[in-house]
A and B are shown apart, each in its own frame.
Chain A
Amino acid sequence: MERNLMKGNEALAEAAMRAGCKCFFGYPITPQTEISAYLAKKMQANGGVFLQAESEIAAINMVLGASATGTRCMTSSSSPGISLKSEGISYIAGSDLPCVIINVERGGPGLGGIQPSQSDYWQATKALGHGDFQLLVFAPASVQEMVDMVVKAFDKADEYRMPAMILADGLLGQMMEPVTFPEISVEQKPKPWACDGTKMKRKHNIINSLYLQPETLENSNISRYERYKKIKETETDAEIYLCDDAEIVVTAFGATARVAKSAVNTAREQGIKAGLFRPKTLWPFPVKEINEACKSAKNVLSVEMSMGQMIDDVKLALECRIPVSFFGRTGGVIPKPSEILEEIKKLGGAE
């Protein structure tokens, strides 16, 4: 297959079109604007709709409408823009609608900065809006994974009738790397729930997230959590690197995991038994996989571009059996391999 050189944002946009995305609604914000720019140029020629909405809030509600018709659709933004979309995302989840949401994270809180960050982990995995719901959250670590994961996100969103998010960051969005595009079958499963016209042959479908009877709403939430239970059992994914005999396991996702991997490699060259655990799905968190990766670990080090968010899930997954330390840079600062190596050495220093 031909290797192309593309920015993460552009490769993701191309992959979304190839995955059958027919509607994109967005609003510009650094560092994800290339997604909009790419789709503005290409979407129409691909038989789809590109629309720059008047605001993030309008864009996410357009996604709700398009998804209700059974159309594959997507929106993208960066941290502050995702916060604006949160109301609509809750409505989409409450309506059991599939869609794909891209967050190319930047530093926060508030308007924050425009450099890479991972400080929206809690938002993405715990509470992107009000009410009882979850999103599928995928965390790419390369331009190739920006492609592969967006294709998977569309499939899984449809399969489970729920929103899926790609949680990337400014580094992955802006960098260019070689990338190949997989052959994608355009065939999608029928959506009998969609509001796509009865043709006078069936009862009309209703898409709704309002249930005034508490018991009805409770049942709706319980049935959604039945699906979540299945997802937690079957949809987790992670990379486990040099963990077989690792005494120190570094946990990191996304761009940070690349830097952490360099540090782990250097540690190994220096005779330190270090390994890397990289979740590819952040929700569901790969509980089984991290326990497998940490079977010989004496120490775990969570490295993040935040003040420490994923570390909570790491501790929960390991049931606090192994001490978990933290190293992070935040506000748009990218950790250096040498800094992570220092932390690894501190943990190995007791030997």
Chain B
Amino acid sequence: MLNEIILAGFGGQGILFAGKILAYGGLMDNKEISWLPSYGPEMRGGTANCSVCISDDPIGSPLVLEPNYLIVMNTPSFDKFIGSVQPGGKVFVDSTMIDKKSERDDIECFYVPASQLAEENKMSGMANIILLGKFIKETGIISIDTLHKAFEKAIPPKKANLIDVNMRAINIGGQV
């Protein structure tokens, strides 16, 4: 099973980090994985995106063009990627940042006010992880245990105190 994921938003929202956490999750589950960031002019324009593949088989192109999952945190990225999602795919929208709804009826969209929830829970800057929590709950491609290990691996030891905060954000997203 090949899971192809695009994460997209503004620079500074932690898009690349959230993608890395997914990739580390795949690593912990001994899956084949790839993570590819955008590094082109679109970065300078303020948007960031990354492609993550998680699969049982070796991965061909790491560049995802038609994702089966989309995690999206700003309107320009929503407009850019919503049409490319495979039929039957799932989309996770930060509805604090994006006040649009998809008109497609062949995909499933989850609207999570992630930025607002982050604010309310005094977790400024962690909307990405809250949205990731919802993603994990709805897709089940990574278990909560694996995710914990992924944070342990991705966060350097001197910042280990951040693991708990991240797991709290995951739980908040999972309860939406």
Interface positions of A (Cβ within 8 A of B) = 3, 5, 30-31, 113-115, 170-171, 174-178, 255, 258-259, 261-262, 265, 332, 334, 336-337
Contact = CB atoms under 8 A, between A and B. Distances in A.
B61 to A, nearest CB: 4
A258 B39 contact: no
Interface string B150-161: 000100000000
Contact of A176 (B35, B40, B63, B65): B35
Given A3-B27, A5-B24, A336-B65, A259 B60 contact: yes
A289 to B, nearest CB: 21
Contacts of B35: 5, 175-177
Contacts of B39: 30-31, 114, 170, 174
Nearest to B154: A5
B34 A334 contact: no
9 contacts: A5-B27, A30-B39, A171-B36, A175-B35, A176-B20, A177-B35, A259-B60, A334-B63, A337-B61
A113 B40 CA distance: 9
A337 B34 contact: no
Contacts of B23: 5, 176
Given A31-B39, A114-B40, A170-B39, A175 B62 contact: yes
Given A5-B20, A114-B39, 17 more contacts: A3-B27, A5-B33, A30-B39, A31-B39, A171-B36, A174-B36, A174-B39, A176-B23, A176-B34, A258-B61, A259-B60, A259-B61, A261-B60, A262-B60, A334-B63, A336-B61, A337-B60
B113 interface: no
Interface string B1-45: 000000000000000000010011001001011111101100000
A178 B33 contact: yes
Contacts of A332: 40
Contacts of A115: 40
Contact of A258 (B24, B33, B60, B153): B60
B27 A175 contact: no
A262 B35 CA distance: 17
Interface of B: 20, 23-24, 27, 30, 32-37, 39-40, 59-63, 65, 153
Contacts of A174: 36-37, 39
Specify the main secondary structure of chain B where it touches its partner.
mixed
B24 to A, nearest CB: 6
A178 B63 contact: no
Contacts of B27: 3, 5, 178
Contacts of B60: 258-259, 261-262, 265, 337
Contacts of A262: 60-61
Nearest to A264: B60
A112 to B, nearest CB: 12
Contact of B62 (A113, A171, A261): A171
A176 B52 CA distance: 9
Nearest 8 pairs of A and B residues by beta carbon: A262-B60, A176-B35, A259-B61, A175-B36, A175-B62, A258-B60, A5-B27, A177-B34
A259 B23 CA distance: 20
Contacts of A113: 40
Contacts of A337: 60-61
Nearest to A178: B27
A162 B62 CA distance: 33
Contact of B34 (A114, A170, A175, A265): A175
A203 to B, nearest CB: 52
Contacts of B24: 5
Nearest to A260: B60
Contacts of B59: 177, 258
A262 B34 CA distance: 15
